[in-house]
Structure 1
Amino acid sequence: MIHVRRAGPLDAGAMAELLNEVIVQGGTTAITEEVTRDDIAGRIGAPRAIWHLAEDDGGELLGFQWVEPLTTEPGLVAEIATFARVGRTGLGIGSALFEATRAACVAEGYDWIRANIRADNYGGLAYYQSRGFEDYGRIAGYRMGNGQVVDKVLKRFDL
């Protein structure tokens, strides 16, 4: 069974470990440099940031999702990121996380949520589409930290 709860600073080490597995695997995130526990802990407490994690019955971290304010778009916009443990996608982790994140975004007063997804991340594109996100833009030729160039698809979910 999947259990979702708000993440806190004490969860930062496990979340960094999971995210680093995703980064090393490659192909699904624009993050190219490994992150540390302190990197994650420093972002969890940022103003208007909302972090949730999903665990199994034994407390194993299955995935996590965060939103942070995005100031480059009109209104109060949350930019979302979602990560599931390598090999554990398609099991309902993202669906459970988004239910909690959506409700928290409404409570926080956000107007809409933006997803900024690599165009070659077909799983990520399908995930956000299945949640009701709609395409509204594209970033062509985005250069990632490792020099790789990808296009990015911008999707929005109106609250």
Structure 2
Amino acid sequence: MVTIRPAAPSDAAELAKLLNAIIVRGGTTAFETAFTPGGLSEAYLTGPAAHCCFVAQADGRIAGFQTLGTQLFLPAYIGDIATFARLGSTQGGVGTALFAATTAHARELGLTAINATIRADNTGGLTFYTRMGFTDYEIVRGVPLKNGTPVDRIRKRFVL
């Protein structure tokens, strides 16, 4: 069974570990530099750009988390979402449960839409956000990775 709760600053170390494993594996997240617990907390939990962060717990541990915040390229009434699931986790429903909590909070904040920016080669992420009801609205072409490889970014929007 999956339970959803707001993330707490005390979760930062475990969330950083979960996200850093995804970064090390490569191929899905746009992040290429590991997060410290403090950096993750500032970015997603306590910093001025953070609207909310929810964690999904299953089998006594965090199975994933989802953040909602601001981005300079977006107007203030559109939030920016990111979702991260523990590698090797097969707990069904984690992303859907997280999204229900995030959208409810976004509506409470008075946001009108949510943006998701996904690497074009992240087929799992593109499928997830499409399944949640996001639609494509922009392609950012050829964003270089640290090694110089260009990878498009697909921007999707969910209207609240």
TM superposition score category, shorter chain reference: over 0.9
Q: In 1, distance between residues paired with 2:94 and 2:113?
A: 22
Task: Using the TM superposition, give the Cα deviation of residue 74 of structure 1 relative to its aligned residue in structure 2, in angstroms.
Answer: 3.9
Quote the sequence identity (%).
42
The answer for the alignment partner of 1:88 in structure 2 is 89
Task: Using the TM superposition, give the Cα deviation of residue 17 of structure 1 relative to its aligned residue in structure 2, in angstroms.
Answer: 0.2
**What TM-score do you get using the length of structure 2 for normalisation?**
0.93
**Equivalent residues of 1:67, 1:80 under 8 A apart:** yes
Q: Which moved more, 1:13-22 or 1:142-151?
A: 142-151
Residue 20 of structure 2 aligns to which amino acid in structure 1? N
Equivalent residues in 2 for 1:23-62, closer than 5 Å: 23-43=23-43, 44-47=45-48, 48-58=50-60, 60-62=61-63
Q: Which moved more, 1:74-83 or 1:25-34?
A: 74-83
Equivalent residues in 2 for 1:3-152, closer than 5 Å: 3-43=3-43, 44-47=45-48, 48-58=50-60, 60-74=61-75, 76-89=77-90, 91-152=92-153
For structure 1, the 5+ residue unaligned runs are none
Deviations 1:66-114 (A, max 9, x none): 0111342345111110000012257211111000000000001111100
Q: In 2, distance between residues paired with 1:27 and 1:99?
A: 26
**Runs of 4+ with deviation above 4 angstroms:** none
**What TM-score do you get using the length of structure 1 for normalisation?**
0.93
Residue 54 of structure 2 aligns to which amino acid in structure 1? H
For structure 2, the 5+ residue unaligned runs are none
SS of the residue corresponding to residue 49 of structure 1 reads strand
Question: How many residues are aligned here?
Answer: 158
**Equivalent residues of 1:20, 1:35 under 8 A apart:** yes
Q: In 1, distance between residues paired with 2:35 and 2:102?
A: 22
Q: Which moved more, 1:49-58 or 1:71-80?
A: 71-80
Task: Using the TM superposition, give the Cα deviation of residue 144 of structure 1 relative to its aligned residue in structure 2, in angstroms.
Answer: 2.7
Q: In 2, distance between residues paired with 1:139 and 1:68?
A: 20
Over the aligned positions, Cα root-mean-square deviation in angstroms equals 1.4
